[in-house]
Amino acid sequence: MTTKARKPKAAIAKAEEDGTRDKILNVAIQEFSRYGLSGARIDAIAAESGANKGMIYYYFGGKDDLYVAALEESYRRFRQIESEFHIDDLPPVPALRRLVSATFDYHAVHPEFIRMVMSENINQGEYIRKIPELQAINRPAIGLLDNLCQRGIAEGVFRADLDPVDLHMSISALSFYNVSNRYTFSYIFDRDLASKKVHEARRESVIDMILRYVRAP
């Protein structure tokens, strides 16, 4: 059918728009995560994305707004991946192992996300507050973990006094630090955190730590 072959006008416009808009947004995530809000350059984003500077203002409004959009998009991608863990099919301990392992790896593979979060904390969370959706985006992670904890407790393999938010925090902390403090730690203690070997050993250590922590006495 011809109708299927033809894109409606609006869709075409949307698609083309998205081309430039998406390029800008992707480059912006790189630029902001690399240099922070104040260090990022609108000129650099325009040049790197091949777009005219005016387009940035056309699509996003201004530097701060672009930063907010980049921040939101970073979180969205992060949690989207998380939703693909499929840990409900496994028993509690292997499930938690997989969750920690995947979380740890995601951090390592997406330093730009870690850096965006660092930047925003340097900004004292000023901009994240402009994204009300963020809570909805992130909360499922707690629900997931909560379910897992309850399953583990019910089966008697996890201790009974687990707080899923606190546990989530520990997993995050141990995953985050490896990337966030990569440069200072590597330099000071001469241990290259980016190397595969160190990464894998550390992942095991982190998994071990979490599992020992949750294990029923």
Partner DNA sequence: TATGAATGAGAGTTCATTCAT
Partner DNA sequence: TATGAATGAACTCTCATTCAT
Q: b/e per residue, 104-128, with b = 16+ CB within 10 A? A: bebbbebbbbbbbbbbbeeeeeebb
Give yes or no for residue 30 binding DNA (CB under 7 A): no
Q: Which two tokens stand for residue 105?
A: 């790896």
Residue 158: strand pairing partners: 215
Least distance in Å: CB of 4 to DNA?
Answer: 20
Q: Does 135 bind its own copies (CB under 8 A)?
A: yes
Contact partner, 54, from its own copies, DNA, none, Cβ < 5-8 Å per class? DNA
Stretch that binds its own copies, among 12-20, 61-69, 100-108, 203-211 (CB under 8 A): 203-211
Using rule CB under 8 A, residue 150 touches its own copies: no
d(CA 21, CA 203): 37
Q: 83-112: which residues touch its own copies (CB under 8 A)?
A: none
- Phi and psi at residue 181, in whole multiples of 5°? -105, 20
- 129 near its own copies (CB under 8 A): yes
- Check: CB of residue 8 under 8 Å from CB of residue 90: no
Nearer Cβ to its own copies (95/206): 206
Query: Total residues contacting DNA (rule CB under 7 A)?
Result: 20
Choose among 21, 25, 23, 7: nearest CA to 68.
25
Q: Are 111 and 170 in contact (CB under 8 A)?
A: no
Q: Which residues bind DNA (CB under 7 A)?
A: 9, 13, 16-17, 19-20, 40-43, 51-55, 57-58, 62-64
Q: Which residues bind its own copies (CB under 8 A)?
A: 35-39, 115, 117-125, 128-129, 134-135, 138-139, 142, 163, 165-166, 168-170, 172-174, 176-178, 180-191, 201-202, 205-206, 208-209, 212-213
